[in-house]
Structure formats: structure tokens, C-alpha cells
Amino acid sequence: MAPSVAIVGAGFGGLCMAIQLERAGIRSYTVFEKAGDLGGTWRDNSYPGAGCDIPSHLYSYSFEKYASWSRRYPEQPEILEYLEHCADKYHVREKIRFGTEVRRAVFDGTRWQVTTPGGTEAFDVLVMGVGQLNRPRLPDIPGMADFEGVSFHSARWDHEHDISGRRVAVIGNGSSAAQLIPRVAERAEHLYVFQRTPNWVIPKPDATFGPLTRLAFHYVPGLQRAYREWIYRYAEGTLYPALSEGWSTGLLKQRALRHLRDQVPDPGLRARLTPDYPPGCKRVVIDSSFYPALTRPNVSLVTDKIVRVTAKGIETTEGPYEVDTIVYATGFKSTEFLVPMEVVGRGGRSLEERWDKGAEAYLGISVPGFPNMFMLYGPNTNLGHNSIIFMIECQVNHVMSCLPYLAGSGPIEVRAEVMAAWRRRLDAAMAGMVWGAGCQSWYKTASGRVTNNWPGTTTLYRRLTARPPQPAYRPTGPAG
């Protein structure tokens, strides 16, 4: 009998898992989704200008070609449409329990007891598809509650609030801020961009696909596949030159500095926008309209330190800024992974205890002591150079390869010594990458451990995840 599978989250990861189970004829699964709609991060991030800086044909499932992409880099509504299309085409929507948050999951020695507000149900397998960027992080600035205007996080955009003619503050200048700032600047009376640390920015060579191109993608055999392969190979080739420490990162730096020079004529503004850490240490912003927005007369870049939020705006070390809207584009609680879910594995040990020094998992997927539990887009599987959807597909394929094994042997878990070897391998590979260099980023914990990024090629990751589960896994056994 096919194992029963609980999938948590109906974003790119959870949907991919559900689709592959459907394709394998396994219908004994349930997708738990806390929100009322599917789409994960692409449902939540609906701010003006939201989109992806990985090309459409690569930021999609390899098994579901889509001829409808209207542009090279997809915008949020189109990505959401694509996910809706996939959910319907593969009949997984009816298996999603919307508005059902998983609060707790406990391994009882044989199965996972999954608790939602509606009660507790048992499943053989637990697949976590909640990703890395699902919980907005509001900053801890004194006085935020005193603000009398309207404020919200970029991932919780208040669409009821019209920003036309308003005085707006955006706190943060990462990838989300860079996308929304140009759109807000077009409508606001004045926009203050509060930058704590400048980012490296490179151009985004976007283009729309005309009707002929779209027809060609639809009808010319092999064209989409060849185009996807070409983008993939190109992206893959940028990993070591751009993100490993060494002379070649200078090329990325030169490219970013040229982009800054081309788009920002004022040397004073350019100086304030120039980072003092190696490019790639924080996520490089890929955008062609961010810098031009900062040169508009109704936009001011503020680099003074924020002291507090007041009833009327934001006070910095240099004085007050009166605004009626504050957008917190301040990122996500990225290193906490499955928090606030309580996950308790073998022997009553919680994942929180297991991860007291930072999250880690074999292949970013499995944790010793947590039998039959698998993560998608888990620890050390984020990329700075290629498509996360590729990684998710590798992870789902890995889980699929584990299912016959656990169906035959009972619960399985990754061996502790395999996890230890994996940690050593990651540490060695990580030492050569730029993420550890002198910057703070969402890739690492406060103590500096890089818990989010994968320090290798995606081709290598595919090879490692394609290995059969034995001998890395073992049956947990009756003592489990």
C-alpha cells in the first residue's frame, strides 16, 4: 500500500511534491496550506513591481513547459497563474486543505501525528514545503507602534491603501525594495528610501516575448527545452566566477560599478550607493530601474541611522522625516526554517533542540532522528546564481526515491555519521565562497554560520540527490 503523505505548504515546493505523487499514481496525500490560496511566496509578495530575476523558462518546473510567458523575467501575477495552471492540470488543488495551519508534528515511533486547529491525524511521511522566505521580519525599531499613518511589510502589501500623492518611507533596499521603489516613486508625492547598507546591483536584461516568439515556443519542437537548457548552462557557469572568493569576483564588481556609473550621474549619490564588501556576500540585486528611481526629484536616499519611529514618521540621527506611509522591506526570518511549527522527532527530541547551533540537514532534506521527514528548499539549498525550482525538483525526486524503501522497511532516517560527513563537506566547500566575507545577510545566523546557501553547482546537487537512499539512510527500527 502506498504510504500516506502530509505535505505542508502549497507553494512551488509543496505543489511539486503533490504533482509528482499524482504522476506516480499515489493519491494518499494531503497538502496543508495555512492561507486561503496556493502560491506560497508568490501569493504573499504581491507588492507593486514584484517579480523574479531568474528567467521565466527556468523559473518553472522542467516537466511543465509553458508557452504563455509574456516576458523573459516573470512578474508575480504570471508566476502565480503558472502555479494555478499546474495545480489544476495535475488535479492537486482538490487535495489542498486551505486555511489549515500545521502547528505541531510529532513522530510517535511509527507515524507522524500532525496537528492542525481541526485536530490530529496520522501520516506515514511528512514533507515540509514551507521554504526559507515565508515569514516576514519586521525590524526592531523603537516606537513602531506609535506611528499614526499606515505601515506594512513588503510581503503583506496593503492594496487598500492608495499611495498616490503620499509621503512614503521604504525601509530596506534589498531585492524586494529594489523592485517596489520604482513603482512607489511614480505615485508618491515624496519617497524616502532608508538604506542601512548599500547593495551591489547589476542590470536585468528584461524583454517581452512578442506573439511570434510565443508561437515559436509553443509550436517549434524542442525550442523551449533548448532555450531553458541554454539559460541553465549560462547561470551555472556564473557560480564560481561570481560567488567564490578570488580574482574573478572583480569582474562582477566591475560590472556592478559600471551599472552604477551609467545610471547615477551624481558622484555623491554614487558614493553612498557603493558597497564596501565583496559582491555576492549579500544577494546581488538584479534590477535596471532601481537606480534611476533614486535619481528622481521626488525620491531621497537617506543613509542616516534610524533612531526611532514616531507618530508622524521616522527620526534619524540627522533629524525627523515626516511621512504618512511606511513600507518595511526588511526581509524574512530566513534562518529559522520550520519555526513556529513544533516538530518533535524520535525520542521526543524537538527540531529546535537539534538545531540549537543553526539549521542543518543532509542534502538540505533529511535530519537524523526525524524518520520519514523530508524538507524542500531546506537548509543550505538556496542559490545566488540559478533557479530554486531546479533544486526543489531534485529534492522531490529524492523523496520519491525514498518512498519505496520506507514502504518496504518501515520508517527510515538518515544516518548520523552521514549527516556529520555532510556537515564537514559543506564547511569545506563554504570556506571558498563569498558569503562568509564581511557582511551580514539573510544567508547566515547571527553567529555567522551560513545555513541557507548551497556552495556548489546545481549539477552536483542533482547528482547527489539522485543517489539511491541506501546506504545513507537506515530503517529506524522498532526502538524508534
Q: Which residues here bind ligand NAP, judged by CB under 6 A?
A: 51-54, 133, 139, 141, 154, 171-177, 179, 194, 196-197, 283, 306, 329-332, 440, 442
| Cβ neighbours for 55, distance < 8 A, ≥ 6 positions apart | 72, 73, 74, 231
d(CA 9, CA 304) in angstroms, rounded, equals 39
In whole angstroms, how close is the CB of 174 to ligand NAP at the nearest point? 3
Helices (H), 25-152: 41-44, 76-89
Rounded to the nearest whole angstrom, what is the least distance from the CB of residue 54 to ligand NAP in the complex?
6
Which amino acid, one-letter code, is at 312? K
Pick the closer one to ligand NAP by CB: 6 or 83. Answer: 83
- Nearer Cβ to ligand NAP, position 47 or 90? 47
Residue 330 or 465: which CB sits closer to ligand NAP? Answer: 330
Q: Output the smallest distance, CB 219 to ligand NAP, in A.
A: 29
3-state secondary structure 258-278: HHHHHHCCCHHHHHHCCCCCC
254 vs 440 by CB, closer to ligand NAP: 440
Please tell me the total number of residues recorded for the chain in this structure: 480
Q: How far apart are CA 63 and CA 257, in angstroms?
A: 38
Q: How far is the CB of 58 from ligand NAP (least distance, A)?
A: 11
The CA distance from 120 to 208, in Å, is 48
Query: 87 or 193, CB closer to ligand NAP?
Result: 193
Least distance to ligand NAP, CB of residue 315, Å: 13
The terminus-to-terminus CA distance of the chain in angstroms comes to 22
Helices (H), 264-322: 267-272, 290-294
Distance, in Å, from the CA atom of 66 to the CA atom of 23, rounded to the nearest integer, reads 18
**Closest CB 331 distance from ligand NAP, rounded Å:** 3
Q: Which residues of 132-168 are buried (b: 16+ CB within 10 A; e: fewer)?
A: bbbbbbeeebeebeebebbbbbbbebeeeeebeebbb
In whole angstroms, the minimum distance from the beta carbon of 196 to ligand NAP comes to 3
In terms of CB distance, is 173 or 263 closer to ligand NAP? 173
Q: How far apart are CA 379 and CA 412, in angstroms?
A: 20
